[in-house]
């Protein structure tokens, strides 16, 4: 039996355990998956002290988890934030599956030419890298300039949220902040956000399982919207593939989706 967990703070809201446990059950693997509240940045020692074979990482530890890993693989090297750990030969190998999850989640929106991404944390980094790889024009907005340095170096447009030109039009507007997770806040000025959304085609919130103020505004405006449930699902599916060295089948994906939706009685964030 192998042990897995999700590290976060807060973490009680996470739906990853029920989803990933369903995946292990479908694969007939006698593995466990728990939640671990991590209140400091000592994630590497905690990983080994718990005797884990793998883990997921959620806010606010994705960037520190990147620093703590022994080996970083794939897009995570560019993102400089990770959400998946794997134990290999007494070392931690780190991946980021958030970008994959996001791309799969927005597939139903069809071709996109422009995206406004609100937020500048680890999830936003993964999304920005995925959008740039897809050659989709991306603007990242954040309340402060400091965290925008990464996106400037990535080569995407950046702007302070309060300075957004509301006459600009975007096919998709994404909330990659925690606004609305445990409060009634919007990811930026309510008035500016309303004017931006009015001209958008689609809205996506990385928070899942609740109608955030951001999504409520999109609904009021009659804009097609989606929460982060499918992003959670597909980033988890990719992590499952990495942990078990298998290719996900439709059966595995359906079993994880069913468990997530059957138990999705709480809000959460990736």
The residues carrying an active-site annotation are 62
Q: Do 243 and 53 meet the contact criterion of CB atoms below 8 Å apart?
A: yes
Q: 224-226 and 137-142 as β-strands: parallel, antiparallel, unpaired?
A: unpaired
d(Cα 126, Cα 176) in Å, to the nearest integer? 10
d(Cα 106, Cα 204) in Å, to the nearest integer? 8
Give the 3-state secondary structure of residue 224. Answer: strand
- Where do the DSSP E strands lie in the chain? 3-8, 32-37, 54-57, 71-72, 84-88, 91-95, 114-118, 137-142, 157-160, 172-175, 202-205, 224-226
């Amino acid at each position: 039996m192998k042990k897995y967990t999700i590290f976060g703070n807060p973490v009680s809201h996470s739906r990853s355990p029920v989803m990933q446990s369903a995946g292990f059950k479908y694969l007939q693997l006698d593995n466990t998956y728990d939640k671990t509240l991590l209140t400091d940045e000592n994630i590497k020692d905690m990983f080994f002290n718990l005797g884990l074979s793998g883990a997921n990482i959620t806010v606010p530890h994705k960037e520190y988890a990147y620093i703590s890993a022994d080996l970083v693989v794939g897009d995570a090297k560019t993102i400089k934030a990770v959400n998946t750990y794997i134990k290999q030969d007494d070392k931690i190998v780190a991946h980021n599956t958030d970008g994959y999850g996001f791309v799969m989640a927005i597939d139903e929106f069809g071709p996109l030419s422009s995206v406004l991404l609100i937020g500048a944390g680890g999830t936003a980094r993964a999304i920005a890298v995925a959008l740039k790889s897809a050659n989709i024009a991306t603007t990242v907005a954040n309340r402060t300039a400091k965290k925008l340095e990464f996106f400037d170096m990535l080569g995407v447009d950046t702007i302070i949220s309060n300075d957004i030109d509301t006459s600009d039009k975007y096919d998709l507007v994404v909330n990659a902040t925690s606004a609305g997770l445990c409060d009634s806040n919007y990811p930026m000025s309510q008035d500016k956000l309303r004017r931006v959304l009015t001209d958008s085609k689609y809205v996506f919130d990385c928070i899942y399982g609740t109608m955030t103020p951001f999504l409520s505004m999109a609904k009021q405006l009659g804009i097609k919207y989606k929460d982060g449930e499918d992003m959670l699902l597909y980033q988890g599916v990719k992590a499952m593939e990495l942990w078990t060295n298998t290719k996900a089948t439709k059966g595995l994906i359906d079993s994880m989706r069913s468990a997530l939706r059957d138990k999705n009685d709480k809000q959460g964030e990736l």
